[in-house]
Structure 1
Amino acid sequence: MELRPVDAVDVTTLVDNSSDVLLPDVGPVRRWGPAGSAGPLPIVPSDLAVGFRTVDLLRAEHGFSVLIEVRVGETTHRVLYDAGATPDGLMANLDRLAISPDGIEAIVFSHGHFDHVIGLQGLARRLGSRHLPILVHPDFWTRRRIVGPDGAFELPTPSRAAIEGAGFVVVDNRRPSFLLDGMLLVTGRIARTTEYETGMPGHQAHRHGRWRPDPLIHDDQAVVLHLRDRGLVVLTGCGHAGLINILEHAERLTGVGRLHAVLGGFHLRDGPIVPRTVTALAAADPAVVVPAHCTSWKAQHALFTALPDAFHPNAVGSRFEFRTSPQPDTAAQGRNGVPDRP
């Protein structure tokens, strides 16, 4: 599948498990807050502060959402990938970041777990009926639960009727599909080829009247872009398909053998899968690695150890700016790219 190269890709984290207002700009990432240049802290009222005002901060939650901005020439397109866990979390962080959702052209969901979906509720209230397309795998609507030693927790299930009733246009597809005139690829169902990425133990789906094992979560899909002369930029929501499976699938689909950046939930927790995944990722030699959401601190430590120059911690408000030409290191720069005084 020929994926049209693009001139620039910007990825802004709207929902993630981490919020850190003191992270600085480094390399391709600009941070939100006093230590970065992506945007200032908003001022809000407070009865307990002198002058009756304080600063507002971005909220972290167990979920994931990013805004993808793609530029070719003078034209920029915007796509939302996932929507976070709580009804108002996504929209509240968009407001804090002073990002209007009006320019969003489409929404892609990585899979049907609620911590990637429910923030759509607040977005729907703000936008009204815009008939925005929403791309999902058909298994997105499956009823699911997680079974552990303490019992079963049934996950909130997305409602197709409610989402369509809110004015969205649902597009179901198991196969790969394109958005933005062939510039953004949605992988569809990802081939499981590695023998060590075996899915999520204890995950079940309700099919044909009863609960059945569902470790592979086949609706898990990634987003892929081709940054001209640099390679693939791959975004994962949770990475249930396995990070290496996802990257190999993206290469097979596009024929592009160079990986520039991978960002998102890697679903790496503990056990033998972590070192094997890290070793395989290091062999791919990406320029940027951004583990987020469901990536444990052990896995993050292993990724940093193996890929210290590529590794960047994620936090809500981080804006990763990928360009076709190398960028100057922003660590020695002040706000808006102006060098600090010595």
Structure 2
Amino acid sequence: MIKELGCLQEACISILAEDTIAFDTPYVGRFGLSMLLEFKAESCQKHILYDTNSAAAPILHNLEIMEKSLDRVDTIFLSHCHYDHSDGLGGILEAIDRPVAVIAHCEIFRPCFEINPDGIRHIGIVGQSRQELEQKGAIFTLTSAPLNLMTGVTTSGEIERITSFEILEDLYTTIDGQVVQDHEKDDGAVILNFEQGLVIITGCCHAGIVNTIMQAQKITGVEKIHAVIGGLHFQDASEEKIAKSIGALKEVEWIFAGHCTGFEGMCRIAGVKGERFKAIHTGTEIRITGPECEPVVTTIPTAQRDRHRILCGLKK
């Protein structure tokens, strides 16, 4: 358990790139996920880029529209190796153009692939070697252990697989030249501690949301879950996994889900959580403050949207 984690005062989670965009907005969506995490505690502030989507270009485009930048980002966290969360890393490092910490699991660079009737499809970090990324400014910290990032913020570390229904997918890797099932040990999350409980930020949640929640509770010693934000990987999941996971999510105060959660999964969560479920899109911004305040969810303001439509030569 992490000692003296402390509490955050404020957090702003901006969805920089996701599969979808909200209606009538100038954002560019792309398969994958990337989030800008802006944190404030009593004694410090920190900006973290969480995942880098399947390309850097949408992230950079959307940052400009949101009137945000990577100038204060000093850490990049990779939730796992899959290309839709990591392929943008090289381009992002080039855009930052200075040394920056990159935190990931120690197996992040392993081969990862699908085997299907058409052959082998590589879905891990392809075309970006560690050496090439380091030449672009990446300073890697590769670890399976939880890592305290600042007051009130920690990584999950390698998530223990406990439940029987959150099973491994049909993905593969190689060990000593042999093709074996990929256990996806690199799947991780970022955990925030507020007075009102934990906020768990997930990428794809390949380890399972129930396992991820239990890991967060174990390493922080905090039982209450205030919110879950990110992908939950209910897309193409078994009925047992979806039903039991949603049963556990009833105890979570707020759920903000998208990406690999899938349309059916989001509908079923909404059926249970009602107004305390929100689908995330490219451009969604979630602000969390003190225990007396509910999370505030926004997209691009109307005036700002109209300004960008004019810049793009579009009529209102």
Question: What TM bracket, shorter-length normalisation?
Answer: 0.7 to 0.9
Equivalent AA in structure 1 for residue 99 of structure 2: H
Is structure 2 residue 60 aligned with structure 1 residue 91?
Answer: yes
Aligned residue in 1 for 2:120? 152
For residue 207 of structure 1, report the CA deviation from its aligned partner: 2.0
Q: How does 1:232-271 map to 2 (within 5 A)?
A: 232-269=198-235, 270-271=237-238
Q: Quick one: which amino acid aligns to residue 22 of structure 2?
A: D
Residues 212-239 of structure 1 deviation map (CA, whole Å, 9 limit, x = unaligned): 111x300001000101x21001000110
Stretches (4+) displaced over 4 A: 328-331
Aligned partner (choices 91, 109, 134) of residue 102 of structure 2: 134
Residues 1:102 and 2:68 are matched in the alignment? no
Provide the residue aligned with 2:248 in structure 1.
Answer: 280
Q: Deviations over 1:54-76 (max 9, x none)?
A: xxx11111111111111123743
Instruction: Report matched runs for 1:288-327 at 5 Å.
Output: 288-327=254-293
Kept in 2: contact 1:87–1:122 (CA 8 A): yes
1:219 to 182, 186, 203: 186
How far 1:210 moved relative to its partner? 2.8
C-alpha separation in 1, matches of 2:294 and 2:187: 35
Preserved CA contact (<8 Å) 2:288 2:294: no
Offset of residue 151 of structure 1: 3.4
TM-score norm. by structure 1 comes to: 0.81
Paired with 1:273 and 1:325, the residues of 2 have a C-alpha distance of: 31
- The DSSP-based 3-state class of the residue aligned with 1:273 is helix
Per the alignment, in what secondary structure is the counterpart of residue 105 of structure 1? Answer: strand
What does residue 15 of structure 1 align with? Answer: 17
Matched, 1:165 2:135: yes
Tell me how large the CA RMSD over aligned residues is: 2.0
Residues 1:15 and 1:68: Cα distance change in structure 2 (over 3 Å): same
Rounded Cα–Cα distance in structure 1 between residues aligned with 2:283 and 2:144 = 31
Q: Is this contact kept in 1: 2:287–2:295, CA < 8 A?
A: no
Question: Would the aligned equivalents of 1:234 and 1:262 in 2 still touch at CA under 8 Å?
Answer: yes
Query: Aligned-pair distance for 1:310?
Result: 1.5
- In 2, distance between residues paired with 1:197 and 1:69? 31
Once the 2 structures are TM-superposed, how far is the Cα of residue 260 of structure 1 from its aligned partner?
0.4
> For the Cα contact (< 8 Å) 2:172–2:179, is it kept in 1?
yes
Closer, same or farther: CA 70–273 of 1 in aligned 2, 3 Å: same
**Shift, 1:315, TM fit:** 0.6
User: C-alpha displacement at 1:206, in angstroms?
Assistant: 2.0
CA distance, structure 1, for counterparts of residue 122 and residue 294 of structure 2: 47
Pair 252,172 (structure 1): closer, same or farther in 2 beyond 3 Å: same
**Deviation readout 1:139-165 (Å, 9 max, x if unpaired):** 100111112344331224342111111
Specify whether residues 328 and 278 from structure 1 end up closer, same or farther in structure 2 by C-alpha distance, changes over 3 A only: closer
5+ residue gaps in structure 2? 303-316
Give the whole-Å Cα distance in 1 for the aligned partners of 2:295 and 2:153: 27
Structure number with the bigger relative contact order (C-alpha 8 A, sep ≥ 6) is 1
User: Is the 1:260–1:287 contact (alpha carbons within 8 Å) kept by the matching residues of 2?
Assistant: yes
How far apart are the structure 2 equivalents of 1:314 and 1:222? 17
What is the percent sequence identity of the aligned residues?
Answer: 24
Query: By how many angstroms is 1:88 displaced?
Result: 1.8
The answer to whether the aligner puts 1:174 opposite 2:177 as a matched pair is no
Q: How many Å separate the matches in 1 of 2:282 and 2:254? A: 17
Which has the higher mean CA deviation after the structures are superposed, 67-76 or 234-243?
67-76
SS, match of residue 102 in structure 1: coil
Q: 1:329 to 1:236 in 2, by over 3 A?
A: closer
Q: Deviations over 1:303-324 (max 9, x none)?
A: 1111113200111111101111
- Seen in structure 2, the aligned counterparts of structure 1 residues 207 and 115 have a Cα distance that, compared at 3 Å, is same
Q: Distance in 1 between matches of 2:92 and 2:229?
A: 23
| Aligned counterparts of 2:132 and 2:116: Cα–Cα separation in 1 | 30
Amino acid at match of 1:19: I
Partners of 2:249 and 2:285 lie apart in 1 by 23
Q: Is 2:286–2:296's contact at 8 Å kept on the other side of the alignment?
A: no
Structure ID, larger Rg: 1
